[in-house]
Structure 1
Amino acid sequence: MKALAAALILGMSMPAGAQEGGGLEESVTTVALPGGSDLSVVVSKQPASKPAVAALLFPGYPGVLRVQNDAGKPSFQLRGNFLVRARRHLVSDKMLTVMVDCPRARWESCDDAYRTSDQYAQDIGAVIDKVKADYGVSKVYVVGTSYGTVSSAFLALKLGGRIDGAVHTATFTDPRTGRQAHGTPMRDFNWGAVTVDQLFVHHKDDPCPLTQYRSIVARKGNAPLVTVQGSKGARGEPCDAFSAHGFVGRERPVMLAISDWILSRKVQETVGADNSED
Structure 2
Amino acid sequence: MRMFWKTTALLAGLFLVSVTGAGAEEVVDLGGGLFGGGRALLDRPAGKARAALVLLTGGDGYIGIGVDGSVQRGGNWIVRTRGAYARSGIASITLDANADPARAVAYMRAIAPRVIVVAMSRGALKVAGTLSERPDGVVFASSMLNDARSMIGDPARLPPTLIIHHRQDSCRLTLPESAEEFRQWAGGRARLVWIEGGSSTGNPCQARAHHGFIGREGQVVAAITGFAGSLR
Of the three residues 195, 207, 214, the one matched with 2:170 is: 207
Q: Which residue of 2 aligns with 1:159?
A: 133
Query: Which one has the bigger helix percentage?
Result: 2
Of the three residues 67, 77, 87, the one matched with 1:92 is: 87
In 2, Cα distance between the equivalents of 1:36 and 1:243? 31
The one-letter code of the counterpart of 2:67 is: N
Structure 1 segments unaligned to the other structure (5+ residues): 1-17, 105-122, 175-184, 266-278
**Identical positions, percent:** 27
Tell me, yes or no, if the aligned pair for 2:35 and 2:98 is still in contact at 8 Å: no
Of the three residues 197, 201, 205, the one matched with 1:235 is: 201
The one-letter code of the counterpart of 2:77 is: F
Of the three residues 66, 69, 72, the one matched with 1:68 is: 66
The SS at the match of 1:256 is helix
- CA drift of 1:241 comes to 0.6
- CA drift of 1:197 comes to 1.0
The one-letter code of the counterpart of 1:141 is: I
- CA drift of 1:256 comes to 0.4
Deviation digits for residues 102-139 of structure 1 (CA, Å, limit 9, x no counterpart): 327xxxxxxxxxxxxxxxxxx43333333444xx3222
Of the three residues 190, 205, 229, the one matched with 1:263 is: 229
TM-score of the superposition, structure 1-length normalised?
A: 0.68
Q: 1:38/1:156 Cα in 2 relative to 1: closer, same or farther (>3 Å)? A: closer
Q: 1:79 aligned to 2:77?
A: no
Q: Which residue of 2 aligns with 1:188?
A: 150
In 1, Cα distance between the equivalents of 2:65 and 2:145? 28
In 1, Cα distance between the equivalents of 2:30 and 2:131? 22
Q: 1:34/1:238 Cα in 2 relative to 1: closer, same or farther (>3 Å)? A: closer
Tell me, yes or no, if the aligned pair for 1:156 and 1:196 is still in contact at 8 Å: no
Q: 1:125 aligned to 2:120?
A: no
Q: How many residues align?
A: 211
In 2, Cα distance between the equivalents of 1:158 and 1:93? 28
In 2, Cα distance between the equivalents of 1:245 and 1:77? 21
Q: Which residue of 2 aligns with 1:220?
A: 183
The one-letter code of the counterpart of 1:200 is: I
Structure 2 segments unaligned to the other structure (5+ residues): 1-15
The one-letter code of the counterpart of 2:43 is: S
- CA drift of 1:187 comes to 6.8
Tell me, yes or no, if the aligned pair for 2:57 and 2:78 is still in contact at 8 Å: yes
Higher RCO by CA contacts (8 Å cutoff, separation 6 or greater) = 2
- CA drift of 1:32 comes to 4.6
In 2, Cα distance between the equivalents of 1:201 and 1:36? 30
In 1, Cα distance between the equivalents of 2:140 and 2:106? 22
- CA drift of 1:23 comes to 4.8
Of the three residues 128, 138, 158, the one matched with 2:113 is: 138
The one-letter code of the counterpart of 2:129 is: L
The one-letter code of the counterpart of 1:243 is: A
RMSD across aligned C-alpha pairs, in angstroms?
2.6
